Chain A
Amino acid sequence: MSGRETRTGRATVRVASGQGFWGDSLDAPRRQVEGGEVDYLMLDYLAEVTMSILQKQRERDSDMGYARDFIGAVESMLPAITERGVRVIANAGGVNPPACAEALLKMAASHGATLRVGVVTGDDLLPQLDELIRQGHTLTHMETGESLDTVRDRVLSANAYIGSEPIVEALEKGAQVVITGRSTDTALTMAPLRHEFRWAADDWDRLAAGIVAGHILECGAQASGGNCLYDWRNIPDLANVGYPIVEAGADGSFVVYKHPGTGGRISVQTVTEQLVYEMGDPTSYITPDVVADFTSIRLEPAGPDRVRVHGIGGTPATDKLKVSIAYRAGYKAVGTLVYAWPDALDKAEAAATVLRERLDRLGLSFDSVLVEYVGASATHGPLSGIDTAPWRADLPEVQLRFGVRGPDRAAVERFTRELAPLVLNGPPSVTGFAGGRPKVEEIVAYWPALIDKDVVKTIVEVTS
């Protein structure tokens, strides 16, 4: 049964967001635990492509494959964790949560500290992938319906998105830091709420509320004034932006706020922009734990930089889990040159024509060639209206951005040698090539699929 108060007898729980992706502000986690009292800190390190990068790192070194920034983040917060009892939940484990835990314990020991670290594994399906396929789990592409067979020999990683249950278990076993692999971003927030208020596994409305709280926190400052279009000029002090915090009650309602004295803004508008971010069908936001209904969310201002969120409904979870599969998908390279006034765009277009013709004459073929004109139409395409704009000829400069993609590394490599010569043997008024030849990148693509939930067995271990 669920409680009306937390395990320690308080009415609310505070979960702070300290990282919206691997590469987010290094100081944010520490600032969240030092800027005021919080109970939990959630750190989201994983995006769809991150798992494959980590998989490549683990292939090179079996002790790697996790978000190494996380070790430094916890180091910067050791006193808050060991003395004040702030508990940290992170999907920093990537494709190697045990190695992440080991590095964490080593770091703690070097400071004479001990940590109870909870490690969640079982999301990694790569070792059993062929067995699963033999058993009839086809893992067809969720959007295109293609069979995984078409890329099976190029698969780098395969991870099921796991929900809140194993995190709750780790918290119940007393973990001060919980490390997961590919758990959903939202579970990192929902799990501590479910743990504290003992929400049942079929308490759909409350679980959905926890998911909505997680969606608001999972992109860090994107809910507290970062990347906010509404009234962006007047959002104060982004240099000192405060990351969002959720203070939730047992009924699932919560307030979004940030620490006093920080910059940024929390308003109905900043929270709404984050709510619609990466949204699909708002009536069914599917997670491993519950299907949340975003059309049920009610927002209201609750004082300066405070928004109250309530009324959230949910429906039963499905019997599937999403699987994130990464596979090698050829090569790409993108190069740029800058053309100056007058007629900068005409010159850049002429250069692109010359380059295409040279690639043709070399007999190089690609799956895709994409030409963009930065400063004219790169982001909005024909909607920029540049082709009929009276100031077309007066653009001060235009950056030609020329990209190719294909299965043949040698062809892509050859393309990278054809850009620089344009400086001397193409249209005039060209500069901006100091960066050298474009780099050939191997593409690691993402293959979303579904799998029966009962196939995925998570394991929770907590160090003593």
Chain B
Amino acid sequence: MKVRLLDLAHARSGDKGDMANVGVIALRPEWYPLLARLLTSDRVAAHFSGVISGGVDRFELPNLHALNFLLHGALDGGGTISLKTDAQGKVFSTALLRLELDVPADEARRLGLPGSA
């Protein structure tokens, strides 16, 4: 079944030069392994295709039940150079939460994911 990341995680984003970072935090600790397995850097890069010009780095923070993504070439030069409304990458967080994950139905039920009952 398809599950929106918005229903599985919360997030905060910020900037470093022309790069946006998005920290994605599982809404429940027991959902973190699912995120860590399915939310790959390829998956995130495909999601932002046409939005960012560079690649995606991914880091795991199992202690915080969180993943951190670095989106390169996300900010039209970043900082003061950028012409974008979101020059500092503040809302790349919710843009990532639009992503939909394919979760096996029995696993979704076992984990009590929204919409799986």
Contacts and interface: CB of A to CB of B under 8 A. Distances in A.
Nearest to A276: B23
Nearest to B26: A272
Contact of B12 (A49, A274, A379, A382): A274
Contacts of A230: 10, 25, 27
Interface in A349-390: 368, 370, 372, 374, 378-383
B63 A276 contact: no
Interface residues of B, number: 44
B14 to A, nearest CB: 4
A445 to B, nearest CB: 5
A229 interface: yes
Contacts of A229: 10-12, 93-94
B79 interface: yes
Contacts of A274: 12
A274 B68 CA distance: 12
A372 B64 CA distance: 35
Interface in B62-106: 62-66, 68, 70, 76-81, 83-86, 91, 93-95, 98
B66 A278 contact: no
Contacts of B19: 143
B10 A278 contact: no
A282 B61 CA distance: 7
A101 to B, nearest CB: 28
Interface string A318-339: 0000000000010010100000
Contacts of B15: 278
A444 to B, nearest CB: 6
Contact of B68 (A282, A297, A299): A282
Nearest to A404: B83
A227 B93 CA distance: 12
Contacts of A381: 50-51, 95
Contacts of A448: 17
Which of B11, B13, B84, B95 has most A Cβ within 10 Å? B84
A209 B68 CA distance: 20
A294 interface: yes
A275 interface: yes
Which of B11, B47, B62, B64 has most A Cβ within 10 Å? B64
A372 B80 contact: no
Contact of A382 (B10, B23, B50, B91): B50
Interface string A244-281: 00000000000000000000000001001111111111
A446 B79 contact: yes
B84 A298 contact: no
Contacts of A444: 80
Contact of B98 (A269, A383, A403, A405): A383
Contact of A276 (B25, B78, B80): B25
B16 interface: yes
A380 B92 CA distance: 7
A463 interface: no
A273 B23 contact: yes
A295 B50 CA distance: 31
24 contacts: A229-B11, A273-B10, A273-B11, A273-B23, A273-B25, A276-B61, A276-B64, A277-B14, A278-B15, A278-B16, A279-B21, A281-B57, A282-B68, A368-B77, A372-B84, A379-B95, A380-B51, A380-B98, A383-B98, A403-B83, A405-B81, A444-B80, A446-B80, A448-B17
Interface of B: 10-19, 21, 23, 25, 27, 47-48, 50-51, 57, 59-66, 68, 70, 76-81, 83-86, 91, 93-95, 98
Q: Top 7 nearest A-B pairs by Cβ distance?
A: A276-B23, A403-B83, A278-B14, A370-B83, A230-B10, A273-B12, A380-B95
Given A282-B68, A401-B85, 16 more contacts: A143-B18, A273-B25, A275-B64, A276-B66, A278-B14, A279-B14, A280-B16, A282-B61, A294-B61, A378-B85, A380-B51, A380-B94, A383-B47, A383-B48, A383-B95, A445-B81
Interface of A: 48-49, 52, 143, 227, 229-230, 269, 272-283, 294-299, 329, 332, 334, 368, 370, 372, 374, 378-383, 401, 403-405, 443-446, 448
